[in-house]
Amino acid sequence: MSGDLHISTAVIVVAAGSGTRLGAALPKAFVDLAGQTLLERSLRSIILLPYPVQVVVVAPADFVADAEAIAHKVAPGLEELVSVVNGGTTRHDSVAAGLAAVQSSVEVVLVHDAARALTPTTLFADVDMAVQATGAGIVPALPVVDSLKQVDVTGGVLGIADRDQLRAAQTPQGFPRAELEAAYAAAGSSDYTDDAAVFAANGGAVTTIPGDEVAFKITTAWDLNRAHQVLGGIPDTHRVGTGIDVHAFGEAENLWLAGLHWPGEKELSGHSDGDAVAHAICDALLSAAGLGDIGSRFGTADPAYADASGEVFVRGTIELLAASGFEPINVSVQLIGNKPRFSPRREEAQAVLTEWVGAPVSVSATTTDGLGFTGRGEGVAAIATALVRQR
């Protein structure tokens, strides 16, 4: 693209928001999402438009250089079309700073939150074309699907809101450039929730077009995890591990399994209490965190663990994870054996194991239709899968 191109559309990308609710040490536009920052992903969607647009990134003062490096990476050689300016202390001030940097030839301005990093290119084009066709302010929006209640200050329900008349607003929001500049000049320091509100407060007409489900705003850690799932992966701070444990039945009727005592059932042989479910959980958690296995961590013949309960090993494993900066997210266990009959005590076992781990633990059980050592009633096996997060 050369400097003599007539640019009629500009996109202001607001990247000055903090990462407080996201729990990040950086402004959220600079947080990583599967190998790319939120800002980088937003810019890539814009650069893929089939026609040239001016892009103005509004960044925190301390991150202007970072934003410029990201812009150069996404759009090398397009310095005349992609620029970065300092943001203000409020979103209103930041958008105003972006407007001041828009080229004189621009007739339509789109304002986009970098935190909506998965917004597709088609939505930018749809908003731009709708502004050109109607001369109105355009907001992409989705129907509200939840039941909505109007409440008082104590939380008491006053009434039901008609969701058929409500929409959840997204970005980019588009406007005729002259009218948007006039609206911002008239607004002064007033606090508005979005650019459409500023535009409407100055008499501008605003209408909606269909939004896109993936254009959601990444505000919390839950949102970031959802974005990873949309992209088909899990965050690179998450680890998965698998653990397998097998024990044969002994003679004494003193079975401990899945954290529960089973009166009248033969115990599982082993140096400790032989709780195969608890031991498999430990191996899965240790494997996920790269901390070895239960044998290397607790020993297979250490007198200190003679007849030790599964709780000792699970809680000890959680302490090892914490010391290495990991925390469990959830564990799933498959118990294999003909006895004891597990289903009547499944929820009881899950509650005990969840309390030990400090994260949800689910346990399912199956038999092998009489096949193998479990089918012959010689012992049990347990297979566990754990997901942990590095803090």
> Is 295 annotated as belonging to a binding site?
yes
Mark whether 246 and 222 lie in a shared domain: no
pTM higher than the cut 0.85: no
Choosing from 230, 247, 280, the residue where a domain stops is 230
Tell me: the pLDDT tens digits for 248-305?
998 888 899 999 999 999 988 877 888 999 999 999 999 999 999 998 888 766 677 7
Mark whether 263 and 305 lie in a shared domain: yes
> Is 300 annotated as belonging to a binding site?
no
Beta-sheet pairing, 9-14 with 54-59: parallel
> Is 164 annotated as belonging to a binding site?
no
Choosing from 192, 207, 230, the residue where a domain stops is 230
The tally of CA atoms less than 13 A away on the side-chain side of residue 134 is 18
- Per-position DSSP letters for 5-54, written without gaps between them: S---EEEEEE-----TTTT-SS-GGGSEETTEEHHHHHHHHHHTSSS--E
> Is 167 annotated as belonging to a binding site?
no
Tell me: the pLDDT tens digits for 185-215?
998 767 788 999 999 999 999 999 999 999 9
How many domains is the chain partitioned into structurally? 2
> Is 102 annotated as belonging to a binding site?
no
List the domain range (segments joined by +) for residue 197: 9-230
> Is 376 annotated as belonging to a binding site?
yes
Range scoring the smallest mean pLDDT among 24-28, 48-52, 58-62? 24-28
Q: Is the per-residue pLDDT at 20 higher than 70?
A: no
Q: How confident is the model at residue 3 (pLDDT cuts 50, 70, 90)?
A: very low
> Is 366 annotated as belonging to a binding site?
yes
Any domain includes 73? yes
Mark whether 39 and 152 lie in a shared domain: yes
- Averaged pLDDT score across all residues of the chain: 90
Any domain includes 342? yes
Taking phi over 0 as left and psi of -120 to 50 as alpha, with beta for the rest, 127 belongs to alpha
Contact status, residue 128 vs residue 110, Cβ threshold 8 Å:
yes
Q: Can you read off the two tokens belonging to residue 68?
A: 């410029």
What pLDDT score was predicted for residue 385? 96
> Is 279 annotated as belonging to a binding site?
yes
Choosing from 210, 230, 250, the residue where a domain stops is 230
> Is 63 annotated as belonging to a binding site?
no
